[in-house]
Amino acid sequence: MQAIHDAAIRLMEAHATRERFAPLPDGLSPRSVEDAYAIQDAFVALRAHRLGAIAGYKIALSSKEMQRFVGVDSPQAGVLLESTLRASPARVRASDYVRLIVEFEIAVQLAVDLPAADAPFSRSRIAASVRAVMPAIEVADDRNADYQQLAKHPLELIADNGWSEGAVLGQPVSDWKRLDLAALRGVATINGEKVGEGVGAAALGHPLDAVAWVANHLAAQRRGLVFRDVVITGSMITSKAVKAGDVVRFSVENLGSAELRVD
């Protein structure tokens, strides 16, 4: 347990001093998925003193292409803290991050608790538990990571909470059941220029399957999603680096849009 705590402290120091993303030192780096999530939990607990309580979760590496790129065979989960969830339109300062990146996702908010005792969770069970669906722009800081080296240290991304710095959420849509979430098309623009488009199926085949994956992941740790938690379900479009002066917009048909301005 001491090594887990020390690893979390080291991550806090690396963020505070704006160090480039790199593996943890020998003796602190995770040796297993279980180690990596234990470090993540300790790191998130330290950040929560400043950023607020857990308000949801993210799923990273939701596509097989990204999993192969990083050298893993499954997605990874991260935590969203209360003050990092922003309503659209939102603003952030580029200077608050080492290298700000954004991703483009469908977000889901829960209407009920999903306790670990009820696992395993299916798409249909998740569908019956959703309060609202909305477009989201994930905010992350890759701290100038060398992406070519990620495959050598795939567990470090888990430990560092998937680089999560929150999300910008569009207006919640409560009558979402009339929509085929997997078929919804989203378009991302930066400064009015289209930078990508994708469909909801990019998130593990269906956004609600991504939520089910997160719920089952938490249940394996004897934890659960709770009422009003937000899950961002995986990027429909490849991540983009942004800078001061940029205006980022993500529009999803029948769900509206989310907007982020970078100062």
Per-residue pLDDT at 60:
86
CA 43 to chain centre: 16
The label of the residue with tokens 């705590």 reads 5
Give the pLDDT mean for 102-131: 97
Give the pLDDT mean for 108-127: 98
What the block records as the tokens of 10 is: 């080291």
Mean pLDDT computed over every residue of the chain: 95
Output Rg (C-alpha) for the chain, integer angstroms.
17
- E-strand ranges in 123-210 read 130-141, 164-169, 185-190, 193-199
Domain spans, the chain: 54-262
Give CB contacts under 8 A, 24+ apart, made by 10-16: 11/39, 11/43, 11/159, 11/160, 12/43, 12/46, 12/47, 14/143, 15/143
In the chain, what percentage of residues exceed pLDDT 90? 89
Residues contacting residue 126 through CB under 8 Å, at least 6 positions apart: 108, 114, 208, 211, 212, 215
Convert the pLDDT of each residue in 19-75 to its tens digit: 999 999 999 999 999 999 999 999 999 999 999 999 999 998 877 766 776 677 789
Per-residue pLDDT at 150:
84
Enter the pTM of the model: 0.95
Residues contacting residue 38 through CB under 8 Å, at least 6 positions apart: 4, 30
Least confident of 88-97, 126-135, 234-243, 250-259: 234-243
Residue 198 has pLDDT above 90, yes or no: yes
Q: Outline where the chain has alpha helix (H).
A: 2-16, 33-51, 64-70, 123-127, 154-159, 207-220
- Contact between residue 172 and residue 109 where contact means Cβ atoms under 8 Å apart: yes
Per-residue pLDDT at 74:
81
Per-residue pLDDT at 147:
86
The CATH classification of domain 54-262, taken from the options 2.170.120.12, 3.90.850.10, 3.40.190.10, 3.40.980.10: 3.90.850.10
Least confident of 61-65, 96-100, 195-199, 223-227: 61-65
Per-residue pLDDT at 65:
66
How many CB atoms are located within 10 Å of the residue 190 CB? Answer: 19
Least confident of 58-62, 184-188, 256-260: 58-62
End-to-end Cα separation, the chain, in angstroms:
40
Per-residue pLDDT at 152:
86
Per-residue pLDDT at 76:
92
Confidence of residue 151 (pLDDT cuts 50, 70, 90): confident
Per-residue pLDDT at 238:
87
